[in-house]
Copies of this chain bind each other. A is one copy, B any other.
């Protein structure tokens, strides 16, 4: 049996760390990114920069325009990205995004015969997205077991979420120990074309607090 793994790679801090973990665990890695109409297109450029640092089997970028559905500040230019924390599920939530991304990862895993999918979801310093919770991931894995030819044939895919119980600070320390170059990553929801961060959105705040708490120099460049 091979040791192939599909890694969802957004270009942010979390997914870069996840890729480093999968590589470190000895997998033959197939990175998967999406051009999904995200406002922060700098994220996708970051994914390409991060991917280039590792000996991957492949880095595939899939065109899947989620703006065709609308409904989120991250894909709908008519909804403003908030700069203040609000209770509940925020407008930056993209409907069913992780489900769509994991479903595509599942298709890719079947095609390249991978039994492992890595996704950098996090249930601690997260923004209240339902599709970042452990119970969601377990339910997806159970569904995937029944969905696929590999699952039916007794080789179900395993969904790995190595960051799910880590704080942002712990994620950064983990990546630092694995020599992740965080200067290549972009976390900001509204980064400019050069990848410079706004410093005001949820994602920027979690990132800055994480570096501060980890006691590691923050390489983020702000607008």
Contact = CB atoms under 8 A, between A and B. Distances in A.
Interface of A: 60, 62-66, 68-71, 89, 93-100, 102-104, 106-108, 110-111, 130-131, 133, 135-136, 139-140, 142-149, 151-152
A117 to B, nearest CB: 11
Contact of A68 (B62, B106, B149): B62
Nearest to A149: B89
A124 to B, nearest CB: 18
Main secondary structure on chain A at its contact with chain B? helix
Contacts of A60: 68
Given A69-B104, A89-B152, 15 more contacts: A69-B108, A71-B107, A71-B110, A95-B110, A96-B148, A99-B103, A99-B143, A130-B148, A130-B149, A135-B146, A139-B142, A139-B143, A139-B145, A142-B142, A143-B143
A146 B151 contact: no
Contacts of A106: 95-96, 99
Contact of A107 (B69, B104, B111): B69
Contact of A98 (B71, B89, B147, B152): B147
5 contacts: A70-B111, A95-B107, A96-B147, A100-B104, A102-B103
A136 B146 contact: yes
A111 B147 contact: no
Given A104-B100, A111-B71, A151 B139 contact: no
A147 to B, nearest CB: 5
Query: What are the nearest 10 A-B pairs in CB distance?
Result: A96-B107, A95-B110, A71-B111, A139-B143, A95-B107, A136-B146, A96-B106, A103-B103, A100-B103, A99-B103
A102 B146 CA distance: 14
Nearest to A70: B111
Contacts of A102: 103
Contacts of A94: 107
